[in-house]
Structure 1
Amino acid sequence: MTETHPAMERSSEGESLVAPFDGWLVHPDWAERVISRAYDNLSPQQRRELVAANPYSYMNVTRSREDLFDNANSSPEALVGEGAAALNRLLNANAFAATGRPALYLYRLSHQQGVQTGVVCTVPVRGFDDRRIRIHENVHDDRASLLTAHLQGVGATSSPVAMAVRSTAELYRQLLDITSSAPADLEFGSSTVRHQVWTVPEDYTESLAAAFDNQVLYVTDGHHRSAAAVRALAAAPNDPILARTLAVVFPDEQLHVQSFHRIATDQHDRGPEDCLEALSVEAEVTPVSSSLAARPGGPGMAGLYLGESWHRLELPPAVGNGAVSRLDVERLSRSILGPVLGTDELSQQGAVDYLPASAGFDELARRCDEENRVGFALHPLSVRELMAVADESGLMPPKSSFFAPKPRSGVFLRVLGRGATAHLPAS
């Protein structure tokens, strides 16, 4: 994702790593209609149905090409125009209210695996360049370009880049002191995931921000949004609003990682038997009777779905000694997707699709049968593996990790004062 530009060579040192922002918060009466589920949790068809049924869902602001019906104009200009119109619809309905002061927020997600509490803030975009903020995944250029156009044309952001920080006692103490003493400003969700938001009191704000001094942040979810922030600042290097981007920072040990399974096209257009034979040359492939038997029990193993049948696949050995080379996603990409299927995840748009593990093995099989493709079910990596890759400046293939649960869009609004929000004060 890292992109060099003369204006980006200046260090972010001296800028607060975590800072409050003068943002907007969805009105509680509008929360159910506006707040949208995480983009990656939904299929394109589900996103189409959602926006068709609810014109006030924030998903209307952030649509992509694959979310449109077949006869729709999918040019970047049209998509940005639709996003701007959707945002204006929300603003005209007073669905968001300005908070009136620079503030930090606490965002708590309570779920079956536990509780995670993050600090919603802005972080310096130049931090990506001077490594105060570290990434671990490559991005698709077209997606990053669309999100850059969105920042410039829609002029607002509501989807914070999710980040991790190595846990510190001081940070925990601050979080617990604040959240245990006051009711939440906003609460929503279901029995599966409960979301709560608090505005940090003014007298806590400075000390809470200072708890992040001398820390390193790691992007966990939002590499394309991060790339868009870098590109937007490069295009307008003197814009102080674009010099920071919206983020939510969680303690690393509270986070949970799932796999992103792969649904790949065989570029050689072989039948299942011939494709399976080619795969067997590069990896040990064993037929199994069910998806349960194909489920990877640990690193180095993957489930393979091909020709309406499940197999267990042992990934070829790692090539190289770096942290990224040892990961299953890299071993699959380097030894199977490229050499056997002729697929390049970065340069061939649509050749590989990504399915979060939460969608289930039945959905993976259904997609492969329907689209005549090959499915790979992967074992999840750990947060510390992700950090090791980022510390070495390594880059995994896109969609290598799926963090769940995710913060929602449509809760916070940071107005950039450009494009469709040029008439509003920037925050």
Structure 2
Amino acid sequence: MTSARPTGADQAVSESLVAPFSGWVVHPDWAERVISRAYDNLSPLQRQALVASNPYSYMNVTRSREDLFDNTDLSHEELVTQGAAALTRLLNAKAFVPTGRPAFYLYRLTHKQGMQTGVVCTVPVQGFDDGRIRIHENVHDERADLLTTHLQGVGATSSPVAMAVRSTAELYNQLFDITAAAPADLEFGSTAVRHQVWTVPDDYTESLAAAFDNQVLYVTDGHHRSAAAVRASAAEPNNPVLARTLAVVFPDDQLHVQAFHRLAVDQHARSPEDCLAALDDVTKVTPAFSSMQARPQERGMAGLYLGGSWHQVELPPAAGNGAVNGLDVERLRRSILNPVLGADELGLPGAVEYLPASLGFDELARRCDTENRVGFALHPMTVRELMAVADESGLMPPKSSFFSPKPRSGVFLRVLGRGATSHLSPS
């Protein structure tokens, strides 16, 4: 997914950056049962409970091995077969309603930090190669392969890749005019996060698409889904349906970034005391009385949970120039995870697990105690820092940023006309 990235007039743009699609939308009567929280917003135990208790949750369509109480040795193909059966169950129940025409949708999330309004659309997979869509994270091949098999076998997608665009007055005006003119077509959520969806009127479609001309999109959430779209399209280069993928694009200054904490396995199997001594040899480690005291208040600092105790850690200086090298996630990877713990998160499956900051420090400590891991709590980066990495064609470790709140799965359905949707027209 990395390549030379031309911009502006240097791009040979053969298709629209954002385009409407003839999607399906969840029926309001089914919204509460079908719509599911973002995959990485939930712990494995929470996902297991959701899948077991609600056969109509869209999580049943997209689940992975760790979301099942048993049969965790299922192959990708077996998981996809189960996902296709779950989607068939939803379609038979008429939980989704076809819109019948190509359209854009506006998706607004209102929360305590503010409000963000995105355009739900399709974007060209070619954009990942020609520089119109830029990424900033590496991916784990196994996860990307599962999602690729999912696209090919299940036959639909309902989890849009979240992207950012640099804010412009024109784009703001378009979004404001449309959303202020009419009540929402669909509303759901809680007092913490309110979700609203509007179908963009036909009269606005052309001008809204034009507002994205000569813009660059930045993937903020969904690097593995992006990789899957690229791989599926490469496997079937003449398939026009796989040439585009589902996305939701937000103005960058409306987004909020949280950290993804790291839970690493010390590959040398040392005692907590010996592991702490090894860490102290490469950087300054200071005991903390609580998770609150260990919480990093600025860049260059991290909280450390090891052997039941909290500490503060100074991250060693950046190794080299470039936007990615100065980020805390990369400084941690290069100076501590790899050389001290032997936990190569890019090449050793399971060596590092990830926990969104929204799940809290207590969950980090619980996971570390249960799984004999070393926890690192990181300070969040900014959206513009991510954009700078992407503009330089840099790649951070997987799960380096966590955007919250997130769009939900099970709101929109883009039909691919295969697998469980082979009897339906592609959208």
Change in Cα spacing, 1:132 to 1:423, as seen in structure 2 (3 Å) is: same
- Shift, 1:69, TM fit: 1.8
- Shift, 1:115, TM fit: 0.2
Q: Residue 61 of structure 1: SS of its match in structure 2?
A: helix
- Shift, 1:288, TM fit: 1.2
For 2:35, the aligned partner's letter is I
Match of 1:329 in 2: 329
Deviations 1:248-297 (A, max 9, x none): 00000000000000010000000000000000111110111111110101
The number of equivalent residue pairs is: 421
Partner Cα distance (2:189, 2:182) in 1 = 19
For 1:160, the aligned partner's letter is P
Conservation of the 8 A alpha-carbon contact between 1:3 and 1:230: no
**1:111-122 equivalence runs, <5 A:** 111-122=111-122
Partner Cα distance (2:380, 2:305) in 1 = 18
- Shift, 1:348, TM fit: 1.3
Matched, 1:319 2:344: no
**1:354-373 equivalence runs, <5 A:** 354-373=354-373
Match of 1:68 in 2: 68
Partner Cα distance (2:234, 2:204) in 1 = 33
**1:341-380 equivalence runs, <5 A:** 341-380=341-380
Unaligned runs of 5+ in 2: 5-10
Conservation of the 8 A alpha-carbon contact between 2:302 and 2:313: yes
Partner Cα distance (1:383, 1:20) in 2 = 26
Match of 1:145 in 2: 145
For 1:154, the aligned partner's letter is V
- Shift, 1:377, TM fit: 0.2
Partner Cα distance (1:186, 1:31) in 2 = 9
What do you get for the CA RMSD once the two structures are aligned? 1.1
Q: Residue 386 of structure 2: SS of its match in structure 1?
A: helix
For 1:245, the aligned partner's letter is T
Unaligned runs of 5+ in 1: 5-10
Q: Residue 129 of structure 1: SS of its match in structure 2?
A: helix
Deviations 1:20-60 (A, max 9, x none): 00110000000000000110010111101001110000000
Deviations 1:376-402 (A, max 9, x none): 000000000000000000000000000
4+ long deviations beyond 4 Å: none
Partner Cα distance (1:227, 1:396) in 2 = 15
Conservation of the 8 A alpha-carbon contact between 1:12 and 1:124: no
Conservation of the 8 A alpha-carbon contact between 1:2 and 1:227: no
- Shift, 1:235, TM fit: 0.3
Match of 1:104 in 2: 104
For 2:300, the aligned partner's letter is G
Partner Cα distance (1:34, 1:204) in 2 = 29
Match of 1:163 in 2: 163
Conservation of the 8 A alpha-carbon contact between 2:51 and 2:67: no
**1:8-407 equivalence runs, <5 A:** 13-407=13-407
- Shift, 1:73, TM fit: 4.5
- Shift, 1:419, TM fit: 2.0
Conservation of the 8 A alpha-carbon contact between 1:154 and 1:421: yes
- Shift, 1:208, TM fit: 0.5
Give the TM-score normalised by structure 1. Answer: 0.97
Q: Percent identity?
A: 80
Partner Cα distance (2:297, 2:392) in 1 = 27
Conservation of the 8 A alpha-carbon contact between 1:12 and 1:126: no
Partner Cα distance (1:288, 1:100) in 2 = 59
Q: Residue 376 of structure 1: SS of its match in structure 2?
A: strand
Q: Residue 181 of structure 2: SS of its match in structure 1?
A: coil
Partner Cα distance (1:115, 1:277) in 2 = 45
